[in-house]
Amino acid sequence: MDSFINSIDFFKGNDPEQIVANYGTPLYVYSEEVIRSRMKAVAGVITKYDYTANYSIKANTNIEILKVALSEGINCDAMSVGELMILKKAGFPSDRIFFVPNNVCDEELEYAIDNDIVTSLDSLSQLEKYGQLASKKCKGYECAVRINPGVGAGHSDKVVTAGKKTKFGVAEADIDKIHEVLDRYGLKLVGINQHIGSQFLDPQPYLDAVRNLLRIARGFKGLKFIDFGGGYGIPYHKLDGEADYPMGDFKKRLEPILDEFVKDYGYAPLFKSEPGRFCVAEGGVILARVHAVKENYGHAYAGTDVGMHVLIRPAMYDSYHDVEIIRDGKVVPRENLSEITVTGPICESGDIIAKDRLLPQIKEGDLACVLDAGAYGYSMASTYNTRPRPAEVMICMDGSVKLIRRRETFEDLMRLF
Ligand code: LLP
């Protein structure tokens, strides 16, 4: 593919130069159309049985994106009280939120209990704490437990969230102890969940993990739901022809696994999954201004205003993001390519967005458009080097451009002192 931006008319006819003239750079730009289409796809993963897709909002917590999820009828999962609060602010009722925290204090668990939000406990120690708090409210309080099935998967060790060397979930060997704690506090276990990791394009590890969780689920009677977690990948190498996650094939292979379980278990509990990245990654790009072009000891660099403070994924996980160059509002064709590294303004040599890429000739004043930045982009951005965080705009279904988060100001940064 020569240009993802052109192939789907990402900006819906708007001139990117005009957008940044109005909102500045660096700028997160989202496509409502792409996000809605991905949310529709995850909502249809299981059609034969009761199913909900929970958008995992850590990927992108912009309130307007949460409202898109709300209107698409999908539910959400949250990791912190901050995420619970923003979901409520976006209009989500408690019964459309699943709280899956890790290592939290009493106040955070109490917030979920006070708001009647179903919570999954991630260790025996957190289950014990939850039991103490919930039993003050009533007997038979409902909860879920996150199981660590002993195997994980993902694009980097840092995002593998199950397996023998991760902090997450209760190990299978400790399942008897779960029952002891439940009995001690009169808790009612209504669900089990897992999340094995993030960003796989081959569905096999996920399908294996589903089969494995369902095997474990047979040991729990009366479950209302089973949640298989997120992790569906997106093609970060799309300009080189990388294929999409094979959603259709995945659905076909998933269904017989569920059929077999339902036959043995006697009924179908509600099935859930928790995709974050898949819903939003491809629906977001970053527009950056190229402020300097230089050659250092034979290596070419394009210095932009997008650094690791705006998008930390390349620095943190060696993640790959495609970059398109825009000049005078038009994507520069991928011709006369030469090797160049796209960097940011941060005072670290790891401040790299795209390393040693074959890109068309870049000039000062061009825009660099970083693709697939809708997930774990803004939500992991920081103010490192005392740089205010960027603004976010949405290209709406009707093609209008809407500011959905204003740019942070220096006054915002000073306010905490
Ligand atoms: N559920 C749980 C419990 C999770 O921990 C996660 C992600 C998800 C669902 C959603 O996973 P997804 O569908 O987005 O893969 N910052 C990293 C990704 C970290 C994912 C952490 N947990 C990145 O930029 O690649």
Listed residues 229, 247, 273: the one ending a domain: 273
Query: pLDDT grade, residue 262 (50/70/90)?
Result: very high
CATH number of the domain that residue 201 is part of? 3.20.20.10
Residues 231 and 375 in one domain: no
- Rounded to the nearest angstrom, the distance between the alpha carbon of 238 and the centre of ligand 1 is 21
CATH number of the domain that residue 348 is part of? 2.40.37.10
Listed residues 254, 273, 292: the one ending a domain: 273
Token pair 């192939």 in the structure block, residue: 7
- Rounded Cα distance between 327 and 402, Å, is 23
Mean pLDDT of all residues in 62-66:
98
Ligand 1 nearest-atom number relative to CA 278: 13
- Rounded to the nearest angstrom, the distance between the alpha carbon of 229 and the centre of ligand 1 is 9
- Rounded Cα distance between 321 and 277, Å, is 14
Q: Which two tokens stand for residue 165?
A: 């060397």
Ligand 1 nearest-atom number relative to CA 193: 3
Residues 218 and 179 in one domain: yes
Pocket lining: 229 vs ligand 1, CB cutoff 6 Å: yes
Q: In the chain, how many H helices and how many E strands? A: 13, 19
- Rounded Cα distance between 247 and 101, Å, is 28
Residues 202 and 146 in one domain: yes
Pocket lining: 274 vs ligand 1, CB cutoff 6 Å: yes
Q: Is 76 a catalytic residue?
A: no
What pTM, to 2 d.p., does this model score? Answer: 0.97
- Within a domain: residue 49? no
Full residue range of the structural domain in which residue 169 is found: 101-273
Residues 225 and 327 in one domain: no
Pocket lining: 311 vs ligand 1, CB cutoff 6 Å: no
Number of domains in the chain: 2
- Rounded Cα distance between 401 and 394, Å, is 6
Pocket lining: 59 vs ligand 1, CB cutoff 6 Å: yes
pLDDT at 139: 82
Residues 147 and 184 in one domain: yes
Pocket lining: 100 vs ligand 1, CB cutoff 6 Å: yes
Mean pLDDT value across the chain:
96
Pocket lining: 314 vs ligand 1, CB cutoff 6 Å: no
The answer, yes or no, to whether residue 345 has pLDDT greater than 80, is yes
Residues 138 and 213 in one domain: yes
Residues 255 and 297 in one domain: no
- Within a domain: residue 71? no
Query: pLDDT grade, residue 306 (50/70/90)?
Result: very high
Residues 128 and 213 in one domain: yes
pLDDT at 130: 97
Query: pLDDT grade, residue 126 (50/70/90)?
Result: very high
CA 123 to chain centre: 23
How many residues comprise the chain? 417
Query: pLDDT grade, residue 5 (50/70/90)?
Result: very high
- Rounded to the nearest angstrom, the distance between the alpha carbon of 133 and the centre of ligand 1 is 28
Residues 353 and 306 in one domain: yes
- Within a domain: residue 376? yes
- Within a domain: residue 43? no
Number of other residues whose CB lies within 10 A of the CB of residue 319: 18
Tens-digit pLDDT profile for residues 138-157: 888 999 999 998 877 777 78
Tens-digit pLDDT profile for residues 31-48: 999 999 999 999 999 999
Residues 332 and 252 in one domain: no
Residues 262 and 302 in one domain: no
- Within a domain: residue 399? yes
- Within a domain: residue 92? no
Residue nearest to atom 24 of ligand 1 (CA): 376
Beta bridge partners of 170: 147
Distance separating the N- and C-terminal Cα atoms of the chain: 49
Listed residues 218, 252, 273: the one ending a domain: 273
Q: Are 130 and 106 in contact (CB under 8 A)?
A: no
Query: pLDDT grade, residue 162 (50/70/90)?
Result: confident
Q: Among candidates 45, 62, 95, 105, which has minimal Cα distance to 278?
A: 45
- Within a domain: residue 197? yes
- CA distances for 336 relative to 237, 241, 322, 362, 415, angstroms: 20, 19, 17, 11, 48
- Within a domain: residue 79? no
**Residue to substitute in 198, 213, 274, 370 for testing ligand 1 pocket (most ligand atoms within 8 angstroms of CB):** 198
Query: pLDDT grade, residue 160 (50/70/90)?
Result: confident
Query: Where does residue 264 rank: exposed (0-12), middle (13-18), buried (19+ CB within 10 A)?
Result: exposed
Given the residues 105, 347, 369, 396, the one annotated as active site: 347
Residues 263 and 293 in one domain: no
